[in-house]
Structure 1
Amino acid sequence: MSKKAVIVVDMLNDFVTGCLKCERSSRIIAPLKKLIETARARGVPVIYSNDAHYKGMDKELEHWGDHAIAGTAGAEVIEELKPEPGDYIVPKRRYSGFFQTDLQLILTELGVDTLIITGLHCHMCVRHTTADAFQWGYKIIVPSDATDAFTEEDYQMGMKYLVDVYGADIKNVDEILESL
Structure 2
Amino acid sequence: MQPAILVIDMTNDFLTGKLRNDRALKTIEPIKDLVSRARKHSVPVIYVSDAHYSADHELTIWENHSMKGTWGGQITKELTPQVGDYSLEKRTYSAFFETGLDSLLRELNVDNLILTGVVTNICIQHSAADACLRGYEITVPTETTEALNDKDYKHALNYIKTMYGAKIVSSTELL
User: TM-score normalised by the shorter chain: which range applies?
Assistant: over 0.9
- Within 5 Å, which residues of 2 pair with 1:17-166? 17-55=16-54, 57-166=55-164
CA RMSD of superposed structures (Å): 0.6
Query: Percent identity between the aligned chains?
Result: 45
Tell me, what secondary structure is at the counterpart of 1:77? Answer: coil
Q: Write the distance in 1 (CA, Å) between the matches of 2:112 and 2:40.
A: 18
Stretches of structure 1 that go unaligned for 5 or more consecutive residues are none
Segments of 5+ residues of structure 2 without an aligned counterpart are none
Q: What's the secondary structure of 2:47's corresponding residue?
A: strand
Structure 2 counterpart SS, 1:64? coil
d(CA) in 1 for partners of 2:22 and 2:64?
A: 19
* TM-score (norm: length of structure 1): 0.96
Q: Deviations over 1:135-157 (max 9, x none)?
A: 00001000001000010111011
Q: What is the Cα deviation at residue 23 of structure 1?
A: 1.4
Amino acid at match of 1:8: V
User: Residues 94-140 of structure 1: CA distance to partner in whole angstroms, max 9, x if unpaired?
Assistant: 10000111100100000000000010011000000000000000010
1:172 CA drift (Å) = 0.7
Shift of 1:27: 1.2
Between the aligned partners of 1:161 and 1:130, the Cα distance in structure 2 is: 10
Q: Cα deviations across residues 16-50 of structure 1 (Å, max 9, x unaligned)? A: 00000111011111111000011011100000010
Q: Distance in 2 between matches of 1:85 and 1:61?
A: 32
